[in-house]
Every structure is written in structure tokens, then in C-alpha cells.
Amino acid sequence: MSRYYLIGERLSHSFSPAIHRAFGRYEYELKELPPKSLGAFLRSGDFSGLNVTIPYKQAVIPFLDALDDAAAQTGAVNTVVRRDGKLIGSNTDLAGLRAMLVSAGIALRGRKVLILGTGGTSRTALAAAAAEGAAEVLRVSRSGREGALTYAEALACHRDAEILINTTPCGMAPDPDACPIDPDVFPRLAGVADVIYNPLRSRLVLSAQARGIPAVGGLRMLVTQAARSCELFTQTPLPSGMVEAVCRSLRDQTENLVLIGMPGSGKTTVARLLAQKTGRHFVDTDEALVQNTGKTIPELFAERGEAGFRALESALLRELSREGGRILATGGGAILDPENRRSLRHNGRLFFLNRPLSLLAARADHPLSDTTEKLQALYLARAPLYVACADAVVPAFGTPEAAAEEILAILKKEVLTG
């Protein structure tokens, strides 16, 4: 029986089994290996093909019988195939990384590129930058070994960099708030590519996007390289459009739909309808806070004040945002804190339910809008922020069903147009 694995040291975050199952051609499993077990496993012969990830993309090479051109060019292997008893190493990451750059419209030609990291994937990024005609390419690492710059040197002497490519695991789940470097210090920055795909949008990507800079996470790279690996495993091309279809399917499965807006705008009702229509799990963040604390929202405000309530809310949002595939109905003030906005965006798409002030009503269970005067002041203060941080503004003038259908229509259009 043919056996296919992803090997690495820590793999709990991996999307690879879902991707290879979507290709539908073989069984595919995760196999975590400590460094001391790598050689014995490769010599065992108990597999037909492998994908290879951190930290083994270079470590596997001495155990292989041959390298293909891309693996030889990059000095890194992410795919191993057994052919006639011999182990052949390939690099499909190169095709994946180039596809990721193209998808975001990030051009390297004639530009100064900083590659963060010195591991196997950084070698792939070096090869991609050379193939794309970058004017200058520098690697950056904490130690500065292997001819790389240190981060301090990069910040001191190379703030004119135009492209950042992150090949480190910094910012990957379960620590999505980490960031390898601050993109704001590069005034000429024109593009950011991060090979991290979990979360869908790393802090590095979100920081660049906040400045209006083209930035992309690693999902398309992951799926493209997996497709090329599959073709090597089976020696058969995949159908045209398979990469695009799997990218969209994974995004749909892993991205949260986050509803934001004023108290009383219908977020909870619309979220429940969306959950019914999509099969996703629904969470109302205010209801979750009440359940977790055993206190009503007015009681929490009375006991802890607004600052204490917001601290509880932020902790909950961080927790909920680390998982995907949910419908989240947030409290009216959830997006006031920039850190909350970032947490929600890691794996979420934000929809502002835009219900006009004339259709909103003061509610006793919302301490900040329990009178008409408070509600009006709150609306005037928050409406611009809702619009600014939303991925889409959804009219909420009519029924909740109409708003839910509008959100589904937006999602369908995005799937159809990419």
C-alpha cells in the first residue's frame, strides 16, 4: 500500500492533510519526527512519498540519492519520491512561492528584497527573487550567520527595502501576535509576502495591509506546492483549476465571518441565520461573556467598569479568533481596540451591518446606549470606525434574512471572481 506523509518536528497547525485529501488520490498523514529519528525513518523505506517542512528541508538531503533541478538550485527539499528504490528530492515550494507573489501582484523585478530567515524556505525565496529579476537580495536572521544581516543591521542600513519575504515561523499559530519585523520602518515598502498560512493573515501581513501595501499570506503557496507534490507522487497532472478550487475551499473552511455594528443592528439574528445556512458554528461574544462569568453585561460594567469589561472582551476575542470556520456576532464596542481588530482579522472577514440610527433603539441591557441621547452619541462616534475596518458594508435596513443573503452573495461573488 502506498503511504504518503508530511514530516517535520511540530505539525499540529498543518493544513496539508486536508489539501491532499481534496486531491483525492491517496492517504496522507502527518508524522512528527524528532531530529534523532529523521535518518532512521528515511532509511526505513516505509513510505512512497513525503513532504518535508521545518526543520528538515536541508537535513534530508544527505539521505537522498538524487535532486531535481529546483532542489539543486535552491539547496532545499520539500518533496521526496521513491522511484525504483531510490529517493529523489524535489522543491515544489519554488513554484508555490512564485504563484503566491503573482496572486498578490507583488513584482520583484528591479527591487530591493529582504528575506527574513536562513532556513530551507529562505533558499527557495532567494531562487525566486533571482528568477524574478530582483535588483538586490539580502537575507536577515537573528544570528547573522551564513552571510545574513542581523535584524539590527537591516533596520540600521536597509530601510530602503521595497519587498519583505518572511520565511520564518514567527507569527505562526499558536502565537499569531508575534511579528518578525515592523514593516512601518520601511518607507519604500511595496509588497510583503509571508509563507505563514495559519493564521490566514499574520501580524506582518495585517500591518502592511493597514498601510495599503500589497501583502499576502502563504495559503496559495501551500496549496500550489502540494499540487505539484501530488503530481510528482502520482506522475499524473491534476485537473486545471484544482489549485484555485482548493484555495477557495480552505479559505471557506478556515475563515471566520465576523459581524460588527451598533447594538440592536441585528448581528445576533443575522449570525444565527448564517450559521443555519452555512453549517458553521455560531458564537455571540456578549452571550459568551455572560456564560463565562455568570454575570449580565450591565452587572459586568457595574462591577468592573468599561475598562474591565473591555479586558474580558479582548481576551475572549483573542481566543475565538485563533480558530476558524465560525460566525462571530461581536459586541458593539469590540472593534474600538486596535488589538481586537487585529485579532479578528487574523482568521476573519469583517461585515458591518449598517442599520441607520432612525431604526435603532436604546436598550436597557447595553449600558453605553441605554438612552436615546447615549445611542445617538455612540452612533456618531462609531459609525466611521465600523466603515473603516469592515471588509464589506451590508445594508441592514430590511429583514435579517435580507442581510444574511447579502453576505452570502458577497461571499459567492468573491468565490466566483477570486
* Residue 8, strand partner residues: 32
CB 160: neighbour CB atoms within 10 A? 11
Task: Tell me the CB-side half-sphere exposure of residue 272, using CA atoms within 13 A.
Answer: 6
User: Which distant-in-sequence residues (6+ apart) come within 8 Å of 30 by Cβ?
Assistant: 5, 6, 11, 14, 16, 17
Question: Under DSSP, is residue 341 helix (H, G, I), strand (E, B) or coil?
Answer: helix
- Mark 59-69 as b/e (b = at least 16 C-beta within 10 Å): ebbebbeebbe
Residue from 134, 142, 125, 146 nearest 78 by CA: 125
β-strands 79-83, 86-90: how paired? antiparallel
Q: Rounded to whole angstroms, what are the CA distances from 71 to 6, 75, 119? A: 17, 6, 14
For residue 63, give the H/E element and its range.
none
Q: Rounded to whole angstroms, what are the CA distances from 110 to 15, 73, 136, 176, 320? A: 34, 21, 8, 32, 42
Dihedral of the CA atoms 222, 51, 148, 211 (nearest 10)?
10
Using alpha carbons only, give the angle 131, 170, 209 rounded to the nearest 5 degrees: 70
User: Which distant-in-sequence residues (6+ apart) come within 8 Å of 235 by Cβ?
Assistant: none
> How far apart are the C-alpha atoms of 248 and 254, rounded to whole Å?
10
Residue from 79, 83, 34, 73 nearest 55 by CA: 34
* Residues labelled catalytic: 57
User: Which distant-in-sequence residues (6+ apart) come within 8 Å of 65 by Cβ?
Assistant: 86, 87, 88
Helix runs in 294-330, H state only:
297-321
The phi, psi pair for 353, rounded to 5°, reads: -80, 105
**Strand order across the 163-166 sheet:** 149-150, 136-141, 112-116, 163-166, 191-194, 215-216
